[in-house]
Amino acid sequence: MRTNSERMVELERISARMLSLNAEKARLDAAMADAAAELRDLFQERVPLPSNALRGRSNFSDTTTATEIACLLRISERSAHRLVQYSALLVTHHPKTLAALRTGAISWAHATTLLHEYAGLPAGTAAGVEDALLPVAIATTVPRLSYRARRLRTQLHPLALDDRARAAVQERRVDIEPADDAMAWLHVHLRATDAAAIDARLTHGARSLQTPSERRTLPQLRTDILTDLLLSDDSPTDRAVSVGSGSRVRADINVTVPVLTLLGVDDAPAELEGYGPIPAEIARRLAAHAPSFTRLLTHPETGAVLSVGRTSYAVPADLKKWLRVRDRTCRHPGCNVPASRCELDHTKPWSQQGTTTHDNLAHLCRKHHKLKSEGIWHYRQSRAGTLTATSPGGRTYACDLEPPPF
């Protein structure tokens, strides 16, 4: 057994090692920023602007560079795009912040927080904010830095907060993020006042339902109220809030269900389009009662699609649905945009004698379809459903189909 003094020595050693590793990580992040900025500059020189430009040369270069980095590092394009944009800002406009990152005085999280606060400020104002906030970043945590930065930005910004708020509201959006165990996060970017009002209403409604017989927790009740309000098309007035109450708003979503699961012979999970596996019990309920979901039956051994629940015999519509089931997502390497939100693309263009057949069609999201049309990314389909993508940097990536979900 170690003595107290020995434990203190060991603690000092581990602490010093962690500090050293943290500084080294910051230096590597700075080097990554340099490399990303160099790659962006290279593509900016090399890649021509599209025929109907994606909002200018720099934005198009950002997109092109991000697609290259995402495949190279096996990260999401959203993460790659952030890396490209942050790197360009650090290298081009904020060398002091980049220098602090290189020395390990601040972390990448500190640097990106600072860049967020510099955004939209005139050069002179941004430089003043940088000078004021860098010492704070070196001495404190990211949350405290962010709080101080928001206050300083509000004081120094040349535009009134009302004007900035009117511009910012144009960026409102809703995103979904898959989570484990048949769950997902729904992220909403909206006015702070609306967010606070929604939060208060959910809490008020949840507390009103808390009775001695109610077993759900406050967070569960808040979630159930939100779900019911969004998915039910009847009035919420005087309705007992519970999962599945009311008639649901119609949408077009595929749920792939093994035949034996649907029959209740076993409990193999089903596949929710754009998400992944969901429990058999939920799948059976959706297949039986939910008009918003298209049931797809699969063979219990091979996983082959047996039925897509067709309501039309028109060949183009049938082929389109079959391809959606086959592809599931955008076929660009690493892209997870559901096929339902993608566009069908002729791998060999129609103008070059490409055919409208299953072995020359694949789903691409709007962005990757655009990059293909502009000749930035290239694809070929060696056999039905098996694509090979070639990046702007000349690297090739196999875009194989996902195996059957069961």
Residue matched to tokens 């198009």? 60
Average pLDDT over every residue of 7-30: 94
CA-CA distance, 253 to 95, in Å (whole number)?
48
Integer CA distances (angstroms), 403 to 116, 308, 326, 382, 398, in order: 40, 18, 10, 18, 14
Q: How confident is the model at residue 262 (pLDDT cuts 50, 70, 90)?
A: confident
pLDDT higher than 90, residue 31: yes
Q: Phi and psi of 250, rounded to 5°?
A: -75, 140
Burial of 361 (0-12, 13-18, 19+ CB in 10 A): buried
Q: What is the pLDDT of residue 123?
A: 83
Q: What is the pLDDT of residue 152?
A: 84
Average pLDDT over every residue of 1-16: 89
Average pLDDT over every residue of 255-266: 75
| Max CA distance (Å), the chain | 81
Instruction: Note whether 372 and 272 are within 8 A (CB).
Output: no
pLDDT in tens, 170-212: 999 999 888 888 899 999 999 887 888 898 889 889 999 999 9
Strands (E), 179-284: 184-189, 253-258, 270-272, 276-278
pLDDT higher than 50, residue 251: no
Instruction: Note whether 136 and 145 are within 8 A (CB).
Output: yes
Q: The sheet that has 378-383: what strands, in order across it? A: 378-383, 386-390, 396-399
Residue matched to tokens 């559901």? 338
Average pLDDT over every residue of 238-250: 42
Average pLDDT over every residue of 48-67: 71
Q: What is the pLDDT of residue 383?
A: 83
Q: How confident is the model at residue 309 (pLDDT cuts 50, 70, 90)?
A: very low
Q: How confident is the model at residue 233 (pLDDT cuts 50, 70, 90)?
A: low
Q: What is the pLDDT of residue 301?
A: 57
Burial of 29 (0-12, 13-18, 19+ CB in 10 A): buried
pLDDT in tens, 323-335: 888 888 899 998 8
pLDDT higher than 90, residue 367: yes
Q: What is the pLDDT of residue 292?
A: 55
Q: How confident is the model at residue 56 (pLDDT cuts 50, 70, 90)?
A: low
Whose CA is closest to 373, among 343, 334, 336?
Answer: 343
Higher pLDDT pick, 55 / 222? 222
Q: What is the pLDDT of residue 290?
A: 59
Q: What is the pLDDT of residue 332?
A: 94
Top mean pLDDT of 28-37, 154-163, 283-292 is at: 28-37
Average pLDDT over every residue of 119-143: 89
Q: What is the pLDDT of residue 244?
A: 40
Question: Which residues lie closer than 8 Å to 398 by C-beta, 6 or more apart?
Answer: 333, 386, 387, 388
Q: What is the pLDDT of residue 122?
A: 85
pLDDT in tens, 288-307: 665 555 665 555 655 554 44
